[in-house]
Amino acid sequence: MQSKLSDIELIEQVLAGNQAAYADLVKRHQRFVFTLAMRYAKSREDAEEIAQDCFVKVYRSLASFQGHAKFTTWLYSIVYTTAMTFLRKKRVDTDSIDDEGTFIQVESQASVYDVNNAENKSRSFYLSQAIEQLLPDDAAIITLFYKGEQSLEEIAQALGMEANTVKVKLFRARQRLKEKLERNLKHEAKELI
């Protein structure tokens, strides 16, 4: 019964003390929050930590949700700021390409890729792979627009930008995504021949 309630109705119940309503709210949005966090973090563990932090922040500040925008817009702005804060704290050290550990890691990833190559020929696989190669901001905008079905205005509000800026960034992100797809598929075609 709870799952048929709107986000606003669930929020009202949470604020009235119904903890089960918050669990329903989390279940409703956890998959997309995790997907968006993955676009920033690139590792499952980091994305899980970001998603968990987001839902803790949402719970603590739920009373401050004004309802001027959709709940999802507000939620995704929290995901964005949480992810950016997390990434700033965890500056990843880049290894030299000459590092033996890096070579072994790349080699093992290549062998895993070869094993799963025949299995992962779908459009979804290549699209996800290309999105993962984008910069976090580009990946987030693409994800919010296409998977989250957010309008340019909603994305702008979530990311703290102007709608026209988001429009330009979305256009450029699409171009970069197209380039990644063409490069990946060209490489794939060479392997098949």
Q: Return d(Cα 35, Cα 33) in angstroms, integer.
A: 5
Q: Between 68 and 190, whose confidence is greater?
A: 68
Confidence at residue 88, expressed as pLDDT on a 0 to 100 scale = 80
Q: What is the pLDDT of residues 8-17, one digit of tens each?
A: 999 999 999 9
Give 36's contacts (C-beta < 8 A, 6+ positions apart): 76, 79, 80, 83, 140, 143, 144, 148
Distances (CA, A) of 45 to 12, 40, 163: 32, 12, 32
Q: What is the pLDDT of residues 90-100, one digit of tens each?
A: 754 444 444 44
Q: Return d(Cα 47, Cα 140) in angstroms, integer.
A: 13
Give the chain's domains with CATH numbers. 2-89 (1.10.1740.10), 100-192 (1.10.10.10)
Confidence at residue 91, expressed as pLDDT on a 0 to 100 scale = 59
Give 15's contacts (C-beta < 8 A, 6+ positions apart): 62, 63
Q: Return d(Cα 66, Cα 52) in angstroms, integer.
A: 22
Q: What is the pLDDT of residues 77-89, one digit of tens each?
A: 898 889 888 888 8
